[in-house]
Amino acid sequence: MDPTQAPSTQDEAAVLKAGERLRLLSYNIQAGIDTNQFRDYLTKGWRHVLPSRQRLHNLDRIARMLRGYDLVGLQEVDSGSLRSGFLDMTEYLAHRAGYPYWYRQVNRDIGMIAQNSNGFLSRIAPSNVTKHRLPPGNGRGAMILEFGEGAGALHICTVHLALSRRLRRRQLDFVAERLKDARHVVVMGDLNTSCDTAEFRHFVEHNDLAEPGCSKPTFPSWRPSRRIDHILVSHSLQVLNARVLDYPLSDHLPVCVEILIPDGIRLAA
């Protein structure tokens, strides 16, 4: 068994069919650090390198919120270092929220100091999981999970992009190349860019995607002014609703969508 995946004994995996609702959420959890104002970056900055009792409390609160979703993409999780008390946050959240399947991708390994990672939680068994280092290969990554089989499979990509516009364009082109043959696609994560930038528009328009909630900002969580967290959905998928949740435990707010499972797909353990 892949060491980054493990079944939970708390819940059975879900079985979902075409026409049923699928609930997806993406959340940059800032390694479990609660941030309520800009000066917290200075006064709470030590939590990026040292453990804190408050961190576990925040993770428990996040886990309670995650229980309402089928598929969850997480950014800025720690996979077991000093600052997290050597806790794999993806695994911890999976157990606390009752997810049978979880995956983690360490993007920047700083030894005991930090294990910066992406995470993914699922109530449905994927048919395939691939992990990719995004160019130029210095700390950003993407995971692509396939649900179902054949040409009609649902492809979910969870990603955390760079701060540089030039690098984001390269990274989005990289993701697009790996999803070019997929029909049903969801791209979720912290893209570090708003809906009106050239690289964002190019990616969306050239890959038959839509962003159903661009008018709702996600950052900073205490006074949102920018939409940099996204769930992009191919036009082949019907979106029932899209929301930004008022859940400011990180410096980002979580985003969620609800879609209908398309015909020809049966998602099961």
CA 164 centroid distance within chain: 20
Asked if 121 and 145 count as a contact pair (C-beta separation under 8 A), the reply is: no
* Residue 260 scores a pLDDT above 80: yes
Q: Hey, which bits of the chain come out as E strands?
A: 16-17, 21-28, 71-78, 101-109, 115-122, 128-133, 141-147, 154-160, 184-190, 209-210, 229-234, 238-244, 255-260, 266-267
Which residues share a beta bridge with 180? none
Beta-carbon count within 10 A of 116 CB: 23
Which ranges of 101-225 does DSSP label H, i.e. alpha helix?
165-178, 198-206
Q: What is the pLDDT of residues 166-206, one digit of tens each?
A: 999 999 999 999 999 999 999 999 999 999 999 999 999 99
Q: What is the pLDDT of residues 225-259, one digit of tens each?
A: 999 999 999 999 999 999 999 988 899 999 999 99
At 230, the amino acid letter reads: H
Asked if 26 and 189 count as a contact pair (C-beta separation under 8 A), the reply is: yes
At 138, the amino acid letter reads: N
Which ranges of 207-263 does DSSP label H, i.e. alpha helix?
none
Residue 268 has a pLDDT of: 62
Q: What is the pLDDT of residues 47-83, one digit of tens each?
A: 555 557 778 899 999 999 999 999 999 999 988 765 6
Asked if 229 and 218 count as a contact pair (C-beta separation under 8 A), the reply is: yes
Q: How confident is the model at residue 17 (pLDDT cuts 50, 70, 90)?
A: confident
Which residues are within 8 A (CB) of 94 and not within 5 positions of it... i.e. 6 or more apart?
6, 8, 101, 102, 121
- Give the pairing of strands 115-122 and 71-78: antiparallel
Distance CA 103, CA 14 (A): 17
Counting every residue, how long is the chain? 269
Lowest-pLDDT range of 5-19, 97-111, 160-174, 209-223: 5-19
Residue 151 has a pLDDT of: 81
Asked if 148 and 128 count as a contact pair (C-beta separation under 8 A), the reply is: no
Q: What is the pLDDT of residues 82-93, one digit of tens each?
A: 566 668 999 999
Residue 36 has a pLDDT of: 73
Beta-carbon count within 10 A of 243 CB: 15
Asked if 269 and 13 count as a contact pair (C-beta separation under 8 A), the reply is: yes
Which domains does the chain carry?
A: 20-267 (3.60.10.10)
* The dihedral sign for the CA sequence 244, 139, 33, 124: positive
Q: Within the chain, how many helices (H) and strands (E) appear? A: 5, 14
